[in-house]
């Protein structure tokens, strides 16, 4: 009886291998959307389905042209200090994200580091660190239009910066799309 099972074994192995090969070839084939199947690939989109990444020059041009629009009522917004933002961040990040996340925040603090050009893959971005009562936070400015104004800052100088609170940060609270409201 055992002889009969082994007699058909090569045939079974062949069928299993053939099935696996068919599965692998089907998975490797490019997947098409219903739209592509009916009308061909979308115009301007490569066959891979992923649009091409814009050049660094194009990204920088857009940042210079549009930037982050500063709300007209920025002078009426309440000012926070880095220690208030950092304490909320350290106590409960999810709650801090719910309170401030994606919203304009104005912060008054002492310049503790920066400005440094931290270009991300060629994109003009400048970091400034603010501090109060030993607690720090980061502010990120986009575009070269801020470079001249930021280069004149001195460590220990009091700054008021408005920016959008970036949620889901892991290490330090951060404002992005910042603008320098005042330097004292």
In a domain, 91, yes or no: yes
User: What is the chain's length?
Assistant: 184
| Residue 22 pLDDT class (50, 70, 90 cuts) | very low
Query: 65 and 34 share a domain?
Result: no
Could you tell me if 62 and 122 lie in one domain? yes
**Does 53 map to a domain?**
no
Same domain, 25 and 90: no
What range does the domain containing 33 cover?
A: 2-39
CA atoms of 103 and 175, how far apart (whole Å): 10
Residue 80 and residue 124 share a domain: yes
Q: Is the pLDDT of residue 30 over 90?
A: no
pLDDT of residue 121: 65
Q: Are residues 26 and 75 in the same domain?
A: no
Identify the CATH number of the domain in which residue 171 sits: 2.40.50.140
CA–CA dist 23, 120 (Å, integer): 41
pLDDT, greater one: 133 or 63: 133
- Each residue's pLDDT tens digit, 82-113: 999 999 999 999 999 999 998 999 999 999 99
Q: Which pLDDT score, from 0 to 100, does residue 137 have?
A: 96
Average pLDDT, the chain: 75
Indicate whether 52 belongs to any domain.
no
Q: Is residue 46 part of a domain?
A: no
Q: 74 and 132 in one domain?
A: yes
Decide if 153 contacts 111 (C-beta within 8 A): yes
Q: In this model, does residue 28 exceed pLDDT 60?
A: no
**Tell me, what's the pLDDT at 177?**
87
* % of the chain with per-residue pLDDT over 90: 34
Instruction: Please tell me the pTM assigned to this model.
Output: 0.64
Q: Is 127 exposed, middle or buried (0-12, 13-18, 19+ CB in 10 A)?
A: middle
Q: State mean pLDDT over 65-87.
A: 82
Does 31 share its domain with 86?
Answer: no
Q: Do 79 and 23 fall within a single domain?
A: no
**What is the number of domains present in the chain?**
2
Question: Is there a single domain that holds both residue 81 and residue 110?
Answer: yes
Which of the residue ranges 2-11, 30-39, 44-53 has the most confident prediction, judged by mean pLDDT? Answer: 44-53
């Amino acid at each position: 009886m055992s002889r009969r099972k082994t007699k058909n074994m090569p045939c079974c192995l062949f069928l299993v291998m053939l099935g696996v090969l068919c599965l692998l070839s089907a998975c490797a084939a490019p997947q098409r959307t219903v739209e592509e199947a009916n009308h061909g690939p979308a115009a301007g989109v490569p066959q891979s389905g992923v649009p091409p990444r814009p050049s660094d020059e194009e990204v920088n041009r857009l940042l210079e042209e549009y930037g982050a629009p500063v709300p007209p009522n920025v002078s009426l917004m309440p000012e926070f200090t880095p220690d208030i933002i950092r304490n909320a961040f350290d106590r409960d990040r999810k709650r801090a994200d719910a309170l401030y996340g994606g919203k304009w925040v104005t912060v008054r603090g002492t310049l503790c580091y920066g400005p440094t050009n931290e270009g991300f893959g060629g994109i003009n971005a400048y970091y400034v660190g603010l501090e109060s009562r030993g607690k720090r936070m980061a502010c990120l400015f986009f575009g070269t239009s801020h470079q001249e104004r930021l280069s004149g800052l001195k460590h220990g100088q009091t700054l008021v910066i408005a920016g959008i609170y970036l949620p889901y940060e892991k290490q330090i609270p951060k404002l992005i799309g910042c603008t320098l409201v005042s330097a004292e």
